[in-house]
Amino acid sequence: MPHARIAAVQMVSAPEVAPNLAAAARLVAQAAGNGADLVALPEYFCILGRHESDKVRVRERDGSGPIQDALAGMAQRHRLWLVGGTVPIECADPARARSACLVFDRDGRRVARYDKIHLFTFDAGDERYDEARSIEPGDTPVALDSPFGRLGLSICYDLRFPELYRSDPPVDVWFVPSAFTATTGAAHWETLLRARAIENLAYVVAPAQGGLHANGRRTHGHTLIAGPWGEVLAEQAEGEGVVIAEIDANRLAEVRKSLPVHSNRRLA
């Protein structure tokens, strides 16, 4: 597809699954009404709990459960591709879950699953996070072919590890569903996203959590879509919303021809 409309959804997710699924359905419908061909939801779209263990409590078997069914239904209902942020999926450890980004095609069929590889650890004294307490890491990068070009999947903290984004063959559109903290987001969010776009001459679609949550956590927001030259094509600072941008295969080919970083690369 030479041109497509991609939407990135920003949410301020609650500790309960049901209202989050309702909000996601409403925002995906809004994106579809604005002509989106592909929609991406943020990390933790289905639950941002009061406790780290809350996500484990609602984890689902791979391929079965109300969260996965809701995503498949949204994609099928609106006849669009859907990148389902993150869904807590069962793993062998009963105290943890996999944080899985699931992709559904326009028929509601799941076509990809990526499990978050890099788990967020942060200690600034009175602000601490350790995702490994409730999440089991994945170990396999995932990219897939689609009507919109080659899509690459990553999640939040993965953004700080550029080697994940050096894909062969190159990815055309990278997804980064996130829940960046207000502290780290203000310092690094936009810089990292634009860097990944520039380094790889790729579109970067970053749906985010953006606001004050019931657990007292404030997320950075600033959902954005960046172009392959590093330009910000669309952005929303805070609160619920949908940002939309056009992806253009001709523009992608043009910048990659003018600056052939993929063929000039020498280090693996």
Q: Which of 46, 91, 101, 156 is catalytic?
A: 156
116 classed as catalytic: yes
How far is the C-alpha of 116 from the C-alpha of 259, rounded, in Å? 31
- Residue of 90, 91, 116, 131 marked active site: 116
Tokens 């933790």 belong to residue: 44
Q: What is the 8-class DSSP label of residue 37?
A: S
Active site residue 55: no
The yes-or-no answer on residue 156 being catalytic is: yes
One of 43, 60, 90, 136 is an active-site residue; which one? 43
Report the SS3 class of residue 223.
strand
Q: Going residue by residue through the chain (268 aa), what tens digit of pLDDT does each one get?
A: 568 999 999 999 999 999 999 999 999 999 999 999 999 999 999 999 999 899 999 999 999 999 999 999 999 999 999 999 999 999 999 999 999 999 999 999 999 999 999 999 998 888 888 999 999 999 999 999 999 999 999 999 999 999 999 999 999 999 999 999 999 999 999 999 999 999 999 999 999 999 999 989 999 999 999 999 999 999 999 999 999 999 999 999 999 999 999 999 998 7
* Neighbouring C-alpha atoms within 13 Å toward the C-beta of 223: 29
Instruction: Choose among 160, 234, 152, 237: nearest CA to 201.
Output: 152
Task: Indicate the CATH number of 3-263 among 3.40.50.300, 3.40.50.720, 3.10.130.10, 3.60.110.10.
Answer: 3.60.110.10
Nearest Cα residue to 135 out of 91, 188, 82, 186: 91
Distance between CA atoms of 29 and 15, rounded to whole angstroms?
22
- Distance CA(173)–CA(150), nearest Å, equals 6
Q: What is the pTM of this model?
A: 0.97
